[in-house]
């Protein structure tokens, strides 16, 4: 939690559970009136120094005041809370990056460290959930009831229109299907509005909310069902059907299309369900149970047949994928030869940038260099007006513009999407190099364009994925490496 601070005694006890701890307690986050440490400092002790993650906030702030989003810089948790998204088995999480940077041992060391520290913390502080976490206040109850009443009135209006034959059929539906569709929409809206109201009314310290937001168990839907209302019960994708003559149960009159008679549960689990609501809920639950059992059997059998059919395929040293007889199945694994384990979701950041911003960030004119150039570069004065360097930089700039246009064309189907699945996180490689060679942000650079640009170009030219000089090989090679290059 953001309001938890640790005393020196507490932090010392926790530190003793950090594997390979060097015996040095970090500087406290608060000095006066008494030294206090934060949980962020504690968890940073087990995050590998190689890990750098930035997940921005929805508002896009770089330093959010409410501690939203997540920033881990060189193994230090700067802001944000660790959730299942960043520590769990998800792409781009700490475990994934630790594995890519440090191999299986590094990922294992992180998992062990986190478990030791978190287990000790829970041993001291615990976490439990009780019925009190599901009880809404009077204002919330009134608001939820108002939402339900509004939508029930809307259903009554739709029913009256359908009865008077005034309901206009939607495209591709008859009047009955249109009626069902509109009623379902109204009732789902009641559930969503009530759920949102409940979510807003619960405090951050609520244990159910803590569990849902951290991703350990449950979701916002579970919380709103416990607290606000359970909502419409669905059987075979529709509201509860008429199992008896023109009615769902003998306890309702015939031809009753009202929400209650067709499986809308307006009570929460906390308040308890009426007998008919309970019955409808059992119907929907039974369907889910059978569905799960059948799906397990079906997917298991499909999986077994797939594994049987593909068990002798392997990627060989010549880059091809072959079966046990040596027959070629793919000339290149996955058509591009990339190992899916090292691919990461990375943001390009250049597709949506305006031409002016792009030029300002990536173009360097040595004939008329910007003010910072001479201060930040050791050879700033020497390079100003240097013809060979100017030619190199201009060629690189033209390549960048060409690449950007090409990737925009490839990416047109995805619209403004900047995220791409790419091998090698170049930004992180640079950050790691800066850390290893102790390069500070304000250090002067002693790299010349005449050294850097040809070296990068040389590396890209040497990166052959499909060998061969025929048109097909050349095209396959270009396709396999275009995003990376």
In this predicted model, what pLDDT tens digit does every residue of 91-134 receive, in sequence order? 888 998 899 888 999 999 999 999 999 999 999 988 899 999 99
Answer whether residue 62 shows pLDDT above 70: no
Pick the closest to residue 185 from 229, 232, 141 (CA basis).
232
Say if residue 169 is preceded by a cis peptide, omega within 30 of 0: no
pTM above 0.75, yes or no: yes
And the tokens for 291? 């569905």
Please report, rounded to a whole number, the percentage of residues in the chain having pLDDT higher than 70.
Answer: 98
What per-residue confidence (pLDDT) applies to 44?
92
In this predicted model, what pLDDT tens digit does every residue of 395-451 receive, in sequence order? 888 888 888 888 888 777 777 777 788 888 888 888 888 888 888 777 777 777 778
Spatial contact of 35 and 28, defined as CB atoms under 8 Å apart: yes
DSSP string, 351-413: SSS-HHHHHHHH---TTS--HHHHHHBTTHHHHTT-HHHHHHHHHHHHHHHHHHHHHHHHGGG
Mean residue pLDDT of the chain comes to 87
Which CA distances in Å does 67 have to 1, 18, 79, 358? 11, 25, 6, 30
Query: Which residues does 243 contact at the CB level (< 8 Å), separation at least 6?
Result: 249
- Return the higher-pLDDT residue of 443 and 219: 219
- Return the higher-pLDDT residue of 230 and 448: 230
- Residues 241-251 as b/e (b if ≥16 CB within 10 A, e otherwise) read ebeeeebbeee
Lowest mean pLDDT among 18-27, 245-254, 353-362: 353-362
What per-residue confidence (pLDDT) applies to 57?
63
Give the domains, in start order, of the chain with CATH numbers: 5-125 (1.10.274.100), 131-273 (1.10.132.30), 339-464 (no CATH)
In this predicted model, what pLDDT tens digit does every residue of 251-288 receive, in sequence order? 999 999 899 999 999 999 999 999 999 999 999 999 99
Average pLDDT over residues 207-221: 90
- Residues 256-283 as b/e (b if ≥16 CB within 10 A, e otherwise) read ebebbbbbbbbbbbeeebeebbebbbeb
pLDDT band at 69 (very low <50, low <70, confident <90, very high): confident
pLDDT band at 382 (very low <50, low <70, confident <90, very high): confident
The SS3 call for residue 25 is coil
What is d(CA 305, CA 352) in angstroms, rounded to the nearest whole number? 45
Lowest mean pLDDT among 87-101, 202-216, 291-305, 447-461: 447-461
């Amino acid at each position: 939690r953001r309001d938890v601070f640790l005393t020196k005694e507490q932090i010392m006890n926790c530190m003793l559970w950090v594997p390979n701890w060097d015996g040095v307690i970090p500087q406290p986050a608060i000095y006066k009136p008494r030294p206090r440490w934060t949980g962020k400092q504690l968890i940073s002790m087990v995050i590998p120094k190689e890990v750098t993650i930035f997940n921005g906030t929805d508002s896009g702030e770089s330093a959010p005041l409410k501690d939203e989003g997540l920033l881990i810089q060189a193994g230090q948790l700067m802001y944000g809370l660790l959730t299942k998204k960043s520590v769990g088995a998800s792409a781009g999480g700490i475990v994934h990056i630790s594995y890519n940077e440090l191999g299986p041992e590094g990922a294992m060391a992180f998992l062990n460290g986190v478990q030791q520290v978190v287990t000790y913390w829970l041993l001291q502080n615990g976490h439990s959930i009780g019925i009190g976490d599901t009880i809404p206040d009077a204002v919330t109850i009134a608001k939820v009831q108002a939402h339900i009443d509004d939508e029930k009135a809307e259903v009554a209006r739709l029913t009256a229109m359908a009865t008077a034959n005034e309901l206009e059929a939607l495209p591709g539906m008859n009047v009955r299907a249109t009626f069902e569709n509109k009623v379902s929409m109204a009732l789902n809206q009641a559930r969503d509005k009530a759920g949102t109201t409940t979510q807003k009314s619960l405090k951050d310290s609520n244990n159910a909310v803590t569990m849902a937001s951290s991703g350990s168990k449950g979701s916002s839907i579970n919380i709103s069902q416990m607290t606000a209302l359970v909502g419409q019960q669905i059987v075979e994708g529709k509201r509860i059907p008429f199992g008896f003559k023109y009615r769902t149960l003998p306890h309702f009159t015939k031809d009753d299309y009202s929400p209650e008679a067709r499986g809308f549960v307006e009570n929460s689990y906390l308040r308890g369900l009426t007998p008919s609501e309970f019955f409808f809920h059992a119907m929907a639950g039974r369907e889910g149970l059978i569905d799960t059992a059948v799906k397990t059997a079906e997917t298991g059998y499909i999986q077994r047949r797939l594994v049987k059919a593909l068990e002798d395929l392997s990627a060989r040293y010549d880059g091809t994928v072959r079966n046990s007889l040596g027959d070629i199945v793919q000339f290149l694994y996955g058509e591009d030869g990339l190992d899916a384990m090292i691919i990461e979701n990375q943001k390009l950041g250049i597709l949506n940038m305006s031409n002016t911003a792009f030029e300002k960030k990536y173009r360097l004119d040595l004939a008329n260099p910007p003010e910072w150039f001479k201060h930040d570069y050791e050879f700033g004065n020497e390079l100003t007006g240097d013809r060979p360097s100017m030619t190199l930089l201009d060629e690189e700039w033209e390549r960048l513009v060409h690449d950007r246009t090409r990737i925009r064309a490839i990416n047109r189907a995805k619209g403004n999407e900047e995220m791409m699945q790419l091998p090698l996180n170049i930004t992180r490689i640079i950050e790691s190099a800066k850390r290893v060679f102790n390069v500070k942000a304000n250090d002067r650079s002693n790299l010349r364009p005449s050294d850097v640009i040809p070296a990068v170009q040389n590396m890209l030219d040497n990166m052959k994925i499909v060998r061969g000089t025929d048109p097909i090989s050349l095209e396959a090679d270009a396709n396999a490496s275009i995003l990376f290059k």
